[in-house]
């Protein structure tokens, strides 16, 4: 599939590139652990949430709302799932990575066709804000390489909650998940909401 740079105008329906000095947070991100295989997600990391960093994200990008700063690190080349939150998400890394994105408005009867998914390459050191209406999931590495990606979200997002029988896609706090039938998440009971190819980069 075509991989589009985030500076391309086609990214504007999914998010925006942020301006700022992110060297300090990227240096701290580099010290976070990298698994040998698979991915790890930590929603709130004390080292990344130093007072000035936390307040900077809160004040500059979230209208002074409480936020959390964490990371998603590891190795991934497949779509597997798409999720969305009630609130935008900020991502950046010290290396190039790929985001697989789709529009919330392409969900029909609780399903999304993976042919609607678009791949965007985020260059090293570039911060992007992914809109709440953009479905996304774990990043993909470039040419099979690993990634350490910063994840900023509204506070308490992705915390475990009891499953809601009235909304099977609500997989965690502020996390609506559409799983591909081939994914481990589907095998664990997540709502199967993706139809079509399980895209691999």
Beta carbons of 66 and 58 less than 8 angstroms apart:
yes
3.30.365.10, 1.10.1240.10, 2.60.120.10, 1.10.10.410: which CATH number matches 3-195?
2.60.120.10
Q: What is the pLDDT of residue 145?
A: 87
Residue 161 tokens read as 């909650």
Residue 155 tokens read as 């506070």
Parallel/antiparallel/unpaired status of strands 175-179 and 170-172? antiparallel
> Per residue in 9-43, pLDDT tens?
999 999 999 999 999 999 999 999 999 999 999 99
Domain ranges of the chain: 3-195
Q: What is the pLDDT of residue 143?
A: 85
Q: Mapping DSSP to helix (H, G, I), strand (E, B) and coil, where does residue 119 land? A: strand
Residue 96 tokens read as 């190039």
Parallel/antiparallel/unpaired status of strands 112-113 and 194-195? parallel
CA 161 to chain CA centroid, Å, is 19
Ranges of the chain with pLDDT below 70: none
CA 53 to chain CA centroid, Å, is 19
DSSP-assigned beta bridge partners for residue 39? 74
Beta carbons of 189 and 169 less than 8 angstroms apart:
no
Parallel/antiparallel/unpaired status of strands 127-130 and 15-18? antiparallel
In our burial notation (b when 16+ CB lie closer than 10 A, e otherwise), range 46-78 reads: eebbeeebbebbbeebbeeeebbbbbbbbbbeb
pTM, to two decimals: 0.96
Q: What is the pLDDT of residue 66?
A: 98
């Amino acid at each position: 599939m075509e991989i589009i740079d985030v500076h391309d105008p086609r990214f504007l329906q999914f998010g925006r590139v942020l301006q700022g000095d992110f060297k300090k947070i990227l240096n701290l991100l580099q010290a976070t652990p990298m698994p040998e295989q698979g991915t790890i997600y930590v929603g709130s990391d004390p080292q990344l949430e130093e007072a000035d960093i936390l307040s900077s994200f809160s004040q500059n990008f979230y209208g002074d709302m409480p936020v959390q700063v964490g990371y998603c690190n590891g190795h991934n080349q497949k779509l597997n799932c798409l999720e969305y939150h009630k609130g935008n998400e900020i991502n950046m890394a010290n290396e190039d990575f790929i985001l697989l994105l789709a529009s919330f408005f392409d969900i029909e009867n609780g399903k999304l066709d993976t042919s609607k998914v678009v791949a965007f390459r985020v260059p090293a050191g570039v911060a992007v804000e992914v809109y709440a209406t953009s479905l996304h999931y774990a990043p993909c590495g470039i040419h099979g390489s690993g990634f350490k990606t910063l994840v900023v979200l509204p506070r308490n997002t992705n915390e475990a909650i009891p499953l809601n029988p009235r909304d099977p896609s609500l997989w965690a706090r502020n996390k609506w998940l559409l799983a591909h039938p081939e994914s481990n998440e589907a095998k664990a009971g997540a709502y199967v909401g993706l139809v079509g190819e399980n895209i691999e980069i």
